Amino acid sequence: MRAQVVQAGSSSTRCSEAQPYSRARGFTLVDVLVTMTVIAILIGILLPSLSSVRETAHQIVCRSNVRQLAIGIAMYAEANADSIPRTGTIPVLNGPNNQNSSYNTLTLRFGGTQGTIQGWDGLGLLYAEEYTAAPKVYYCPSHTGEHPYRAFAEAWATDGVTIAGNFQYRGQGPTGNASQPMTNRIDRIRPSGAIVADGLRSQSEFNHKIGANVMRADISVSWFNDSARSVSSGLAKDSEYPTESQIQEAWNDLDNPASH
């Protein structure tokens, strides 16, 4: 059989023909700008959500801290004839002419020669008597004022140095009895009466801005909604000195959560 000869250079074997050349297309300046714009929009959408999640987590940690303080107060009262921790900032618990400095109950220990109050006071007695022995319990992770934990971390290990926390202590509570409107006996305080809350000395010390974790006389801890800022706006501005009337009005609001 005669073999078929394929001629060199035929169309079936020709490899030398130039193939079409295609250049890879790169990013243009417009592409980069569009991409950056999209990323910026996404970040703008996500940041508030991330901030909200972080604040919610801080509220939960803060509520846990207040709950531990509530347990410490209950244990203290049980060992002290139902009396909650004393505070030298409220020298007289009864009477309409009571003069006090209850805005100072953020202070856990008074050092040096600060008036007539010396040593552990108020909630600080829970630490001194080992009912609540962890220093960080006295601080809220949402705090933006001048009393973060890091400002006092070394003071906790040093005697005679002033220590302040982030929670306001009332030192007493309303009874509902006109003849004895306030008492430091937890068994006589109205169950809904607020005893511990986020700082009330100034607006920056009201830790969560839109509300507060509150411990009541029945040892419960609940969230007080202040999204309308009716409580926080009534507190002293950071440039102002707090007054007793501002503190008392805030406590009165916290006593009545149903009104908010």
More confident residue, 48 or 235: 235
CA–CA gap between residue 70 and residue 211 (Å, rounded) = 19
Q: What predicted TM-score, i.e. pTM, was given to this entire model?
A: 0.77
Which residue type is seen at 9?
G
More confident residue, 39 or 87: 87
C-alpha R_g of the chain? 33
Q: What six digits make up the tokens of 85?
A: 């921790």
The model's pLDDT over 157-172, given as tens digits with 9 standing for 90+, comes to 998 899 999 999 999 9
pLDDT beyond 70 at 46: no
pLDDT for 98 equals 45
Q: What six digits make up the tokens of 216?
A: 């009541």
pLDDT for 47 equals 62
Q: Give ∠ CA 97-100-105 in degrees, rounded to 5.
A: 150
Q: What six digits make up the tokens of 170?
A: 């009332």
More confident residue, 26 or 237: 237
Residues in CB range of 251: below 8 A, 6 or more apart: 170, 194, 197, 200
pLDDT beyond 50 at 242: yes
The model's pLDDT over 177-208, given as tens digits with 9 standing for 90+, comes to 888 899 999 999 999 999 999 999 999 999 99
| Confidence label for 95 from pLDDT (cuts 50, 70 and 90) | very low
Cβ(194)–Cβ(173) below 8 Å: yes
